Amino acid sequence: MTALRRLAPLILGVIFLLGWEGTVRLLAIPAFVLPPPSAVVVALLADPQTLGLSLWFTLTVTLQAFALAVAGGVALAILFTRSPLLASALYPYAVILQVTPVMAIAPIVLVWVGYERVDLAQLILAWIVAFFPILGNTTLGLRSADAGLRDLFRLYGASKWQVLWRLELPSALPYLLAGMKISGGLALIGTVVAEFVAGSGTGQGLAWRIVDASNRLNTPRMFAALSLLSLLGIAIFALLSLIQRLALRRWHDSEAGRP
């Protein structure tokens, strides 16, 4: 039963692809409208170097933004729990930054940094959308440490930093890891959106390959780049899920006892 549950997504995907291929061929749908999966594979193999370099560029910007979001979010969450006044002053602005649509911010950021520096705009926008889940989850986790254990630490004369390092941060780890799973996907979205909005030949990532193929009505190549983006997002989520499982499986109820 466990093996079937693990294979179920793969089996469903194969059935979907076969149905897609058969429908396109049966109805004779033009390739520029909806290419069959076989045409997408051909387009992917026709120019693997260009698409591979674009994939690497998109991955690099995404990981950089994700790393900055984790570092900045955790640091600011610690400051928020240490200073309620600072949290009251800054948290509303963090919320404003989160709820403002990234598509609305992207043109402004591109104007500020210049259209010749799309990579920097991508990094900024990806950081903006990836930052808040880390900040919000980590702040909640730090504040969720067991009150009885806090009293016990104080009873034994633990300093504030000892409480933070030995109690609050371990308590916040499940929240942080959950936020990282959300933030990783959002960082990729921010990277792609910035390049879409730029819409110029200065882009190097997969989003620009989609725009360029669209301008040429090369739909199979569009789907090939889109497939790589999807696989990249899945890989990021799977890696972060694995990290979460390895970090929590020995002590936290959310992962303990899972096969």
**C-alpha distance from residue 16 to each of 3, 22, 36, 97 (Å):** 20, 10, 12, 38
Under a CB-based contact definition with an 8 Å cutoff, are residues 46 and 29 in contact?
Answer: no
For residue 79, name the pLDDT band (cuts at 50, 70, 90).
very high
pLDDT computed for residue 259 by the predictor: 56
Is the four-CA dihedral 225, 230, 232, 235 of positive or negative sign? negative
Q: How many residues does the chain have?
A: 259
**CATH of 65-248 given 3.40.50.1100, 3.30.910.20, 1.10.3720.10, 3.30.1360.40:** 1.10.3720.10
Question: Is 81 in a helix, a strand, or coil?
Answer: helix
Mean per-residue pLDDT, 250-256: 71
Is the four-CA dihedral 96, 102, 105, 109 of positive or negative sign? positive
pTM tops 0.95, yes or no = no
Say which range, 15-24, 175-184, 208-217, has the weakest mean pLDDT: 208-217
Q: Is 60 exceeded by the pLDDT of residue 193?
A: yes
Tokens found for residue 200: 């110029």
Residue 121: in which H helix or E strand, if any?
helix 118-143
Residues 6+ apart with CB under 8 A from 226: 206, 210
pLDDT in tens, 49-63: 999 999 999 999 999
Give me the residue label for tokens 């591979």: 52
Say how far apart CA 47 and CA 129 lie, in whole Å. 32
Residues 6+ apart with CB under 8 A from 41: 224
Q: What secondary structure does DSSP assign to 195-226, as a single string?
A: HHHH-STT--SHHHHHHHHHHTT-HHHHHHHH
pLDDT computed for residue 258 by the predictor: 59
pLDDT computed for residue 78 by the predictor: 94
Give me the residue label for tokens 């702040």: 139
For residue 215, name the pLDDT band (cuts at 50, 70, 90).
confident
pLDDT in tens, 112-154: 888 778 788 889 989 999 999 999 999 999 998 888 888 888 8
Tokens found for residue 28: 């004779």
